[in-house]
Amino acid sequence: MKSLILDENVQYLKGVGPTRVKHFEKLGIRTVYDLLTYFPREYEDRNNIKKIQDFMADENVVFVGKICTRPQIRRKGRGFSLTYFYVTDTTARVQVTIFNQSYLNEKLEVDKEFAFYGKVEDNKGHFEIVNPVMVEVEKIDKIKGYYPIYPLTAGLKNGHIAKIISELLDKKYALPEVLSNSIRQKYALCEINYALEQIHRPNSIESIGEARKRLIFEELFMLQLALLTMRNQNFATKKGIKFKDTNYDEFTKLLPFELTGAQIRVIDEIMTDMSSDKSMNRLVQGDVGSGKTIVAAIAMYVAVKNGYQASLMAPTTILAAQHYEELKKYFSKLNITVELLTGSTTKKNKDIILEKLKNGEIDILIGTNALVSDNVEFKNAGLIITDEQHRFGVKQRMKLNAKGENTDVLVMTATPIPRTLALMVYSDLDMSIIDELPKGRIPIKTYVVNEKLEERVDNFIKKEIDKGRQAYIVCPLIEENEELDLTAATNIYEKYKNEIFPEYEVGFLHGKMKKKEKEQVMQSFKDGKVQIIVSTTVIEVGVNVPNATLMIIEDADRFGLATLHQLRGRVGRSTFESFCVLKTKNMSQKCRERLGIMVKSNNGFEIAEKDLELRGPGDFFGIRQHGLPEFKLANLLTDVKLLKLSNDAAKEIIMKDPEFKLPENKVLKQELFGRYNEQLLNIGT
Ligand code: ADP
Ligand code: MG
């Protein structure tokens, strides 16, 4: 048992030098614990021995064969050697080539039998295996089995990470068991260290399944325990502000439109919370374009009217500035002072703003997460709102929650998730849903097209722009092969800029740009100086450029439906008709069906449900789901059953032992507070 060393930095491990430390850091791996809980994304099945005559180019194969030609050895200069020979299994023969492993040479005798694993490469018409994994045939079990494939980052090889983790497991680092015997029995879950071994070095498909079940359960269970604990804290200790005057007619009179029924209902729910003496902890879910900003504005108006300050926090500078511009229009007419504080605010201005905030000269502060930093002091904050809360993640939400002593908290999100899920993922919050779009919105027309229609799409873009409209073109960027995707996106940008639309201004936005540069591009787009913006998904959730009516998405099949829906929500924000074109090279039935959902529905909740249905719980390996808390293994869309079970288990514990005083919950408490320590500080120690 070496559990104390779990905190040790990976830099002290054998075979981990400074470069690899950097790679690991990129993957969020800092400690031995992080490494042990860095789980494979999938497994390669290396169980079936393939006949050489059945080889196909580019496939990975396990095979057994005898060396049938005398190995030829070439040395070229220092440290470079090349050995090649043929291997036969009686069905056919194949060439094996080995670079720079001359120590192998003495083992290579004609007629000796080996087991190999490697990739079949087509070398000018004949097959060749280069640098295979190779063992004497008696040791074939070293090759066979399910081989873990880890999510990687540029420069890091799968073999390296597999080896380092495997060595750790050999050393028998033990993770603490947080699930009591009774929970493990009740939900048929295996022991943690067995799970750890099996997830990295599985014996069978079944044991992978068992290990995953256990680890996913634990992840979900711990999160829910933390959320429920927080909710308990709020109920038990937090007395809220009682806002007496909740009439907001004066504000609505200024609006150029009528509030929708759903907006009014949600505002009512908020007012009920605000006027009670319990503190508010409410989530407003509303589809893109459903008008959440105004709901937030009205809540802030009421807070100010009752003599308190309010703040609105957005995930990016662009969004914060956008809210500021829009809301200032109303608040200035009501004699309410609003200020904007972001990373771009100059030091001098920042100091002035902070001073005024402390004196109570500012009523409403809008900004980025700079707002939760320690030196921001309100005179008397009554309400804190977070917009696009999913971008901040569960932990930040907890932090914010711990900060506001008895202030009311409202969080808003445009990521619709099915209600059953929401109840668990947001179990610390009450929920309101804006399920209606403002009147008069023309539904966005959505099309799925393949490459053949590319020219027609380009002509269509041209027509819209000549009418004075603007377009977004979004390219996928998946972190795993970031470099490659960025190159692809750059090519697409250059193609549009130089070949297809040389007569227009085309801008480019991607995550590697400096914040300032991004803002500049976005601003020129807002000002209409740039007509087309090519971007990776960094175009922000919530960006509002009503004149943009075209959303073109390249390789749309690579995005989740929730993300597609979010992206589409960037258009259709005015009385002009808007369009979304989903381009794809994948015309499989499954893909067409999935993208077809986007064509049929404009409703985020419906899309989320359908997506869940279509993907089903059968989907073995996780996909990163935007907007939901990030897990190492769990996938909220596909692990619904485990989510439900872990929710039951967490509730049972909280009911029986809310402060984790029972001896059987001692390890659990330690781990829970270890993982969520900042957020759960106030609970009884
Ligand atoms: P989201 O919910 O996506 O944050 P916004 O709050 O940005 O949506 O609202 C989108 C647009 O709809 C804004 O331009 C806003 O002024 C407008 N809007 C909000 N409520 C209404 C309404 N009841 N009727 C008409 N337009 C509205
Ligand atoms: Mg918004």
Tens digit of each residue's pLDDT (9 = 90 or more) over 164-209: 999 999 888 888 899 999 999 999 999 999 999 999 999 999 999 9
| Ligand 1: residue whose CA is nearest its atom 15 | 291
Q: Which atom belonging to ligand 1 lies closest to the Cα atom of 263?
A: 23
Selected residue with higher pLDDT from 117 and 407:
117
Helix (H, G, I), strand (E, B) or coil at 568: helix
Helix (H, G, I), strand (E, B) or coil at 88: strand
Average pLDDT over residues 384-412: 71
The answer, yes or no, to whether residue 210 has pLDDT greater than 90, is yes
How far apart CA 258 and CA 277 sit, in angstroms, is 30
pLDDT at residue 392 in the model: 59
Which pTM does this prediction carry? 0.66
pLDDT at residue 388 in the model: 72
Q: Which amino acid is at 121?
A: E
Q: How far is the CA of 288 from the centre of ligand 2 (A)?
A: 7
Average pLDDT over residues 620-629: 37
Confidence of residue 3 (pLDDT cuts 50, 70, 90): very low
Lowest mean pLDDT among 91-95, 101-105, 406-410, 489-493: 101-105
Q: Which atom belonging to ligand 1 lies closest to the Cα atom of 288?
A: 3
Q: How far is the CA of 223 from the centre of ligand 1 (A)?
A: 33
pLDDT at residue 266 in the model: 97
The answer, yes or no, to whether residue 407 has pLDDT greater than 80, is yes
Strands 113-123 and 133-136: antiparallel
* C-alpha torsion angle, residues 252, 253, 255, 256 (rounded to 10): 140
Select from 257, 545, 565, 575 the residue to mutate for testing ligand 1; criterion: most ligand atoms less than 8 Å from CB: 257
Quickly tell me which residue has 């509730």 as its tokens: 651
Selected residue with higher pLDDT from 115 and 10:
115
Ligand 1 pocket check for 542: Cβ under 6 Å: yes
Average pLDDT over residues 437-445: 86
pLDDT at residue 622 in the model: 29
pLDDT digits (tens, 9 = 90+) for 67-76: 999 989 888 7
pLDDT at residue 267 in the model: 97
Ligand 1 pocket check for 418: Cβ under 6 Å: no
CB-based contact 672:680 (threshold 8 Å) = yes
pLDDT at residue 419 in the model: 66
pLDDT at residue 587 in the model: 81
Ligand 1 pocket check for 202: Cβ under 6 Å: no
Q: How far is the CA of 291 from the centre of ligand 1 (A)?
A: 3
CB-based contact 17:25 (threshold 8 Å) = no
pLDDT at residue 1 in the model: 41
pLDDT digits (tens, 9 = 90+) for 304-328: 999 999 999 988 888 898 899 999 9
